[in-house]
């Protein structure tokens, strides 16, 4: 059904349609791959931004060492799509999820994170009973104050506990400073990132002091990876948004990545003098990170319900006519992608590929 869009001019796409500028997307991929080559830090891109094995495979082709995902459900979709090296960056807790994790470990190579000894013990019992050995990272709180054991000795203690448990293999540390990714100033972001990295390094030393190797130390996203290029104990980074960027991230100083994602909408009503109404509201584009920007800079967007948005202009005479296209730049790429079934990949004004987003909605 979707094949009919291949080769079509972008103006003909039905809307709302999430589109990717392929030239920009490929430049973003190449930029990250180049950074990795130059610095020797591996990249395990986060699939939470795209939720699609199609995009993951492009990242792997360019040298990514595996894929990170937030939820087990995302990992299951990636594995079904042939992506077998998956790091699940959120704790897997409870019998239902652990059973699914073990099933996944029989067909692929998942890596899990823990921040609690009881959870590690539950994973150990399930893995031992199934005869599988799960690689486990200890998650460290490096400043986000969300998940993760406290840095230093608590991290070392949990690592030793994991290493002592049958069915588990202690593989290293995860310490993600999600609180810093959108700090606007480059210098402030750098300073605060290096403070977080000190906490991670202290944790690594506490682990190593117990005779345990940290084969993996994973950290950083799009906004901060550039600061750890010369920290040789950081083995890898897990950026997600760099492939698309969104207008919130585009306002962050000095990331170097370009906007590749937009939502094409259509003006469906012109009954108000002060606004053009488009066919995209809360169910098509998210606003928790601020308002989407209207491409071109002339207009502004505000949601007007589940399925509608209002386009305003300083001079209402400039408002687009009924049937006109209006392109929005999402303010939060991850949650906007999660609302759509497909990404339309566009080059030189034509649809070159249609990528399904099969992990959308996979929050379990
Ligand atoms: C654990 C973890 N790692 C990496 C990322 C990727 O971050 P970004 O999209 O800012 O590159 C996220 C994003 O929320 C995350 O939660």
Token pair of 167 as six digits: 């069915």
DSSP state of 284: T
Q: What is the pLDDT of residue 297?
A: 86
**Bridge partners (DSSP) listed for residue 278:** 267, 309
Cis-peptide, bond into residue 62, ω within 30° of zero? no
CA distance 278 to 301: 9
Check if 238 has its Cβ closer than 6 Å to any atom of ligand 1: yes
Cα 178 to ligand 1 centre (Å): 6
Check if 265 has its Cβ closer than 6 Å to any atom of ligand 1: no
Cα 129 to ligand 1 centre (Å): 33
Burial class (CB in 10 A: 0-12, 13-18, 19+), 232: exposed
Could you tell which of 221, 226, 227, 332 is best to mutate to test the pocket of ligand 1, judged by most ligand atoms within 8 Å of the CB?
Answer: 221
What sign for the dihedral angle of Cα 203, 208, 212, 214?
A: positive
**Bridge partners (DSSP) listed for residue 204:** none
Cα 179 to ligand 1 centre (Å): 10
Spatial CB neighbours of 239, under 8 Å, sequence gap ≥ 6? 32, 43, 45, 46, 220, 221, 222, 225
Cα 238 to ligand 1 centre (Å): 7
Residue nearest to atom 7 of ligand 1 (CA): 221
Token pair of 342 as six digits: 């497909």
CA distance 290 to 362: 24
- CB half-sphere exposure, 144, CA atoms < 13 A: 21
Check if 281 has its Cβ closer than 6 Å to any atom of ligand 1: no
Q: What is the pLDDT of residue 220?
A: 98
Cα 340 to ligand 1 centre (Å): 20
Q: What is the pLDDT of residue 342?
A: 97
Token pair of 193 as six digits: 């990132």
Q: Which atom of ligand 1 is nearest to the CA of 220?
A: 4
Q: Which atom of ligand 1 is nearest to the CA of 89?
A: 1
Cα 349 to ligand 1 centre (Å): 31
Q: What is the pLDDT of residue 3?
A: 85
Name the packing angle between helices 153-164 and 186-208 (round to 10°).
50
- Strand 309-312 relative to strand 67-69: parallel, antiparallel, unpaired? unpaired
- Enclosing H/E stretch for 276: strand 276-278
Cα 104 to ligand 1 centre (Å): 23
The percent helix, strand, coil of the chain (3-state, each to 5) is: 35, 25, 40
Query: For every one of its 364 residues, what pLDDT tens digit does the chain have, with 9 covering 90 and above?
Result: 688 999 999 999 999 999 999 999 999 999 999 999 999 999 999 999 999 999 999 999 999 999 999 999 999 999 999 999 999 999 999 999 999 999 999 999 999 999 999 999 999 999 999 999 999 999 999 999 999 999 999 999 999 999 999 999 999 999 999 999 999 999 999 999 999 999 999 999 999 999 999 999 999 999 999 999 999 999 999 999 999 999 999 999 999 999 999 999 999 999 999 999 999 999 999 999 999 999 998 999 999 999 999 999 999 999 999 999 999 999 999 999 999 999 999 999 999 999 999 999 999 9
Q: Which atom of ligand 1 is nearest to the CA of 221?
A: 11
Q: What DSSP assignment string belongs to 116-156?
A: -HHHHHHHHHHHHHHT--EEEEEEB-SSS-SSSBPTTHHHH
Q: What is the pLDDT of residue 173?
A: 99
Cα separations in angstroms, 20 against 15, 124, 153, 349: 14, 42, 45, 11
Q: Which atom of ligand 1 is nearest to the CA of 182?
A: 10
Q: What is the pLDDT of residue 1?
A: 67
Spatial CB neighbours of 197, under 8 Å, sequence gap ≥ 6? 142, 219, 227, 228, 231, 234
The three-class DSSP label of residue 169 is strand
Could you tell which of 43, 178, 234, 246 is best to mutate to test the pocket of ligand 1, judged by most ligand atoms within 8 Å of the CB?
Answer: 178
Q: Which atom of ligand 1 is nearest to the CA of 222?
A: 11
Check if 46 has its Cβ closer than 6 Å to any atom of ligand 1: yes
């Amino acid at each position: 059904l979707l094949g009919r869009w291949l080769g079509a001019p972008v103006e003909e796409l039905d809307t709302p349609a999430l589109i990717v500028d392929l030239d920009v997307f490929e430049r973003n991929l190449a930029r990250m791959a180049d950074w990795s080559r130059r610095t020797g830090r591996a990249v395990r891109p986060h699939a939470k931004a795209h939720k699609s094995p199609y995009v993951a495979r492009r990242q792997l082709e360019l040298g990514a060492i595996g894929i990170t995902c937030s939820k087990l459900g995302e990992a299951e979709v990636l594995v079904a799509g042939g992506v077998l090296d998956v790091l699940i960056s959120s704790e897997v807790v409870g019998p239902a999820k652990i059973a699914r994790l073990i099933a996944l470990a029989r067909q692929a190579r998942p890596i899990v994170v823990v921040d609690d000894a009881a959870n590690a013990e539950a994973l150990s019992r399930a893995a031992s009973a199934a005869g599988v050995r799960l690689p486990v990272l200890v998650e460290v709180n490096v400043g986000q104050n969300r998940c993760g054991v406290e840095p230093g000795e608590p991290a070392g203690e949990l690592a030793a506990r994991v290493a002592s448990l049958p069915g588990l293999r202690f593989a290293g540390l995860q310490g993600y400073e999600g609180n810093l990714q959108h700090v606007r100033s480059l210098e402030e972001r750098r300073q605060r990132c290096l403070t977080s990295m000190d906490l991670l390094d202290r944790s690594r030393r506490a682990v190593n002091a117990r005779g345990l190797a940290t084969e993996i130390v994973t950290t950083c996203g799009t906004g901060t990876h550039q600061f750890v290029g010369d920290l040789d104990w950081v083995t890898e980074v897990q950026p997600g948004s760099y492939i698309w960027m969104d207008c919130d991230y585009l306002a962050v100083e000095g990331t170097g990545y370009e906007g590749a994602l937009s939502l094409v909408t259509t003006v469906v009503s012109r009954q108000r003098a002060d606004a053009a109404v488009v066919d995209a509201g809360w169910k098509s584009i998210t606003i928790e990170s601020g308002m989407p920007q209207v491409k071109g800079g002339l207009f502004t967007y505000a949601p007007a319900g589940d399925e509608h948005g209002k386009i305003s202009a300083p001079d209402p005479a400039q408002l687009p006519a009924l049937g006109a296209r209006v392109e929005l730049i999402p303010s939060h790429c991850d949650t906007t992608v999660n609302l759509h079934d497909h990404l339309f990949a566009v080059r030189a004004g034509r649809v070159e590929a249609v990528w399904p987003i099969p992990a959308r909605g996979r929050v379990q």
